[in-house]
Structure 1
Amino acid sequence: MRKARAVLVSAVLATGMSLSLGAAPAHAETLNGIYRDYSECQRVGSYGDDQGWWDDWRCEWMNQYRYYFLYS
């Protein structure tokens, strides 16, 4: 009985983990580049929008790294 319970618990945990790992929030953003200049970040963001690679994008300054991060 112990072995059957251990196998059942393992199967339930594995199923739960596999379902939760595949889920991502609907508003998840992807990092698409790191740039030293704001103008370069804006240029690449606009180009990606024109090419249809992403619908919305933003350049965010990270003071701790001293770079601009392009998210879409």
Structure 2
Amino acid sequence: MRRVKMAIAATALVGATMFAGATPAHAATSLRGVVYDYSECVRIGNYGIQNYGWTGPLQCVWNSTGNGSGLWFIYA
């Protein structure tokens, strides 16, 4: 039984070592900010990509809050 546990632990350690340095093929986008205007979304998103190293692509997503108003969510 002890040998089986040691073999499982060794296999898990080798597997974890192989994937520890791996990077995802495509990193998921992160929420970077919330604004009222689409033009501000694009401006701030492009500024963040150019100056702060945000990864692209830039996405501006509209979320309605009702009564014709809403917010733009910046993802990059």
- Aligned pairs, number: 70
Q: Deviations over 1:36-58 (max 9, x none)?
A: 33333211112123326246331
1:57 is matched with: 57
Q: 1:26 is aligned with what amino acid?
A: A
Q: Once the 2 structures are TM-superposed, how far is the Cα of residue 22 of structure 1 from its aligned partner?
A: 4.2
Call closer, same or farther: CA 1:23–1:6 in 2, change over 3 Å.
same
Describe the SS at the equivalent of 1:33: strand
Alignment RMSD: 3.1
Call closer, same or farther: CA 1:10–1:64 in 2, change over 3 Å.
farther
Report percent identity of matched pairs: 27
| Residue ranges of structure 2 left out of the alignment (5+ in a row) | 66-70
TM-score of the pair, normalised by structure 1: 0.59
2:68 is matched with: none
